[in-house]
Structure 1
Amino acid sequence: MNYAHTITVPVPYEKAVARVREELASQGFGILTEIDVHATFEAKLGVESARTLGDYLILGACNPPLAEQALTAEPDMGLLLPCNVVIRRSPSANTTTVQAINPQAMVQLSNSPAIQNVADQADARLLAVLAALQGENSSK
C-alpha cells in the first residue's frame, strides 16, 4: 500500500497552498499544525540547505468528527493524527506537488471496524481535496 496520495499541479506554490487550505476546509478539515520546513531548514541548517529543499509546507489537517470517532474507538490512534498534507516545490520545478497521507495506513495498525470506517471517510475527503485541485487545473 502506498502511504501517500500525490498529485502535481501547474500553479505557483503560494496559490497551491491557498487552494489546499480552501479545499481542506470545504471537506471539514481544520489546520491544527503548520510546519514551514523551508524556514526551519534556513534557521537551523542555513540558507543553502533551505534553497536546495525549495518550498515545503506540512499542514496537520483534522476533521473533528472523524478524529472523535477514531479516538473513541482506539485512543492510541492519536499517535497517527492529524492527517498530514504536504505542499512542496523544488527550486527548479514548474509544478507544485501536493500530497496527503493515505488514511488506510491506520487500518494496517488496527483491527477495529470503527477505524476502517473512519479511514474510509477521511480517505474519501482527502481524495476529494486532491481531485478538486487537479480538476480545476486540468480544464485550463
Structure 2
Amino acid sequence: MGYALSATVTQAFAPTLEATRAALADQGFGVLTEIDLAATLKAKIDVDIAPQVILGACRPPLAHAALSAEPSIGLLLPCNVVVRSVDDETTLVEAMDPEVMVTLTDNAELGGVADDARQRLTAALASLTD
C-alpha cells in the first residue's frame, strides 16, 4: 500500500496552490495550518528548494468521528496536503492517504472515516486536473 494520493497539474505553482485550497473547501475541508517549506528552509538553514507548501486540512465531522474511534488519532491529524512545484508549468499535489490511519492504528472502527476522507480528498485532487 502506498501512503499518498496524488495529482500532477499542468499549471504553475501559485495558481495550483489557490485551486487546491478551493478544491479542499468544496469537499468540506478547512485549512488549519499552512507551512511554506521553501521559505522556512531558506530562513532557518539558508537552502533553496522548489516552492512547496504543506496544507493541514481538516473536516471537523471526520476529525470528531476519528477521535471518537481512536482518541490518540490526533497524532495523525490534520490531513496533510502538499503542493510542490515540479517546474514552471507543472505542480504536484499530494495528500496523505487516510487509509494509512487504519493500518497504523489497526483500528477497524476508523475504516468508515478513512473511506469518507479518502473519497473527498480523491475528488479534490481529481478536480485539479479536470
Following superposition of structure 1 onto structure 2, how do residues 1-140 of structure 1 map, counting pairs within 5 Å? Answer: 1-46=1-46, 49-50=47-48, 53-90=49-86, 92-135=87-130
| Conserved? CA contact 2:12–2:88, under 8 Å | no
Residue correspondences, number: 130
CA distance, structure 2, for counterparts of residue 37 and residue 59 of structure 1: 11
TM normalised by structure 2 equals 0.95
Q: Kindly provide the CA deviation profile for residues 39-94 of structure 1, in whole angstroms up to 9, marking residues without a partner as x.
A: 00110111xx22xx11000000000000000001111111000000000114x453
Structure 1 unaligned blocks of 5 or more: 136-140
Structure 2 unaligned blocks of 5 or more: none
CA distance, structure 2, for counterparts of residue 22 and residue 75 of structure 1: 30
Q: Which moved more, 1:108-117 or 1:70-79?
A: 108-117
Q: Kindly provide the CA deviation profile for residues 104-126 of structure 1, in whole angstroms up to 9, marking residues without a partner as x.
A: 00010234333011000000000
CA distance, structure 2, for counterparts of residue 114 and residue 123 of structure 1: 15
Q: Kindly provide the CA deviation profile for residues 5-55 of structure 1, in whole angstroms up to 9, marking residues without a partner as x.
A: 111111111100000000100101001111000000110111xx22xx110
CA distance, structure 1, for counterparts of residue 75 and residue 4 of structure 2: 17
CA distance, structure 1, for counterparts of residue 126 and residue 34 of structure 2: 22
| Conserved? CA contact 2:8–2:92, under 8 Å | yes
Largest Rg, 1 or 2: 1
Partner-residue secondary structure (3-state), 1:87 = strand
TM normalised by structure 1 equals 0.89
% identity of equivalent residues: 48
